[in-house]
Structure 1
Amino acid sequence: MDFTSPSWPNLQGGNFMNFRCFSPLSVSRNLTSLPDFLAPMTEIIQCRMCHLQFPGEKCSRGRGFCIATENEVCMTGRIFKKDGTLWLTFMGCLEKCANVDKIKWSIYLVKFRCCRGYDLCNESL
């Protein structure tokens, strides 16, 4: 996906959760003496979800929770205006995610934070 393209993300269509980042999530295994078919692959993590939140306001679209599958993480994305002021925040579950700091997208700067350490870890990102 080309992050410099003005069509990323499709803000007019409200399609905020189709972001795809670069780094795949490495799945950790529970290393025990159990056979492979009994060893759990990964822990289930619950993430805060909000498709649209403006500064100083509550979540206005897509408020709730999502369950990150074994290939997903919790994420928080923020879009900043050119002058650095926060314009928009979105949160949810994402399959491929990488922590990025203020990459340029048209006249905006976009920041992603990803986590999987504990339930609702993306609330504090």
Structure 2
Amino acid sequence: MQNPSLKGEMGPPRACETCSHVHVPTLVQITDTIQCKMCHIRFPGHRCDKGRGICLATEEEACTTGTIVKSDGTPWLAFLGCLKNCANVNNIKWSIYLVDLRCCRSYDFCNEYI
């Protein structure tokens, strides 16, 4: 008999319809995703101006924070979200702007203050 306190948490083992094996969910599969803060546009001194929410970063994604400053160092805007193949970069030139990108996967909402 199934323990009622565990009922439905990971689901029962199930057969793969196109495979010859049985799929059993594991704790590792459940924790492969992390929650990230999301904001498409945030101007300096403002809260999120557009696209506020939460995204789930899959195993190949990371939480990210991007900042864009003018070439004189004046902040222009920031963005937060989930990004596939994320890499930390500094001062990437984009027209008259410089872009920094920070990535993390250490804990849920790790991009909130980076």
TM-score after normalising by structure 1: 0.67
Relative to 1, partners in 2 of residues 1:67 and 1:38: Cα closer, same or farther, differing over 3 Å? Answer: closer
CA distance in 1 between counterparts of 2:34 and 2:82 reads 9
Answer 1 or 2: higher relative contact order, Cα 8 Å, separation at least 6. 1
Identify the structure with the greater strand proportion: 2
Match of 2:60 in 1: 71
| Paired AA for residue 50 in structure 1 | C
CA distance in 1 between counterparts of 2:37 and 2:25 reads 30
CA distance in 1 between counterparts of 2:105 and 2:67 reads 18
Match of 1:85 in 2: 74
| Paired AA for residue 45 in structure 1 | I
Q: Write the deviation string for residues 37-69 of structure 1: whole angstroms up to 9, x where unpaired.
A: 665255320000000000001101100100111
Structure 2 gap segments, 5+ residues each: 1-23
Q: Which runs of 4+ in 1 moved over 3 A?
A: none
TM-score after normalising by structure 2: 0.73
Q: 1:59 pairs with 48, 51, 54, which one? A: 48
Q: Write the deviation string for residues 85-116 of structure 1: whole angstroms up to 9, x where unpaired.
A: 11000000001111001111111000000000
Larger Rg computed on CA atoms? 2
CA distance in 1 between counterparts of 2:86 and 2:99 reads 13
Q: 1:118 pairs with 79, 94, 107, which one? A: 107
Q: Percent identity?
A: 61
Count of aligned positions? 90
Match of 2:87 in 1: 98
Aligned-pair RMSD on alpha carbons?
Answer: 1.6
Structure 1 gap segments, 5+ residues each: 1-36
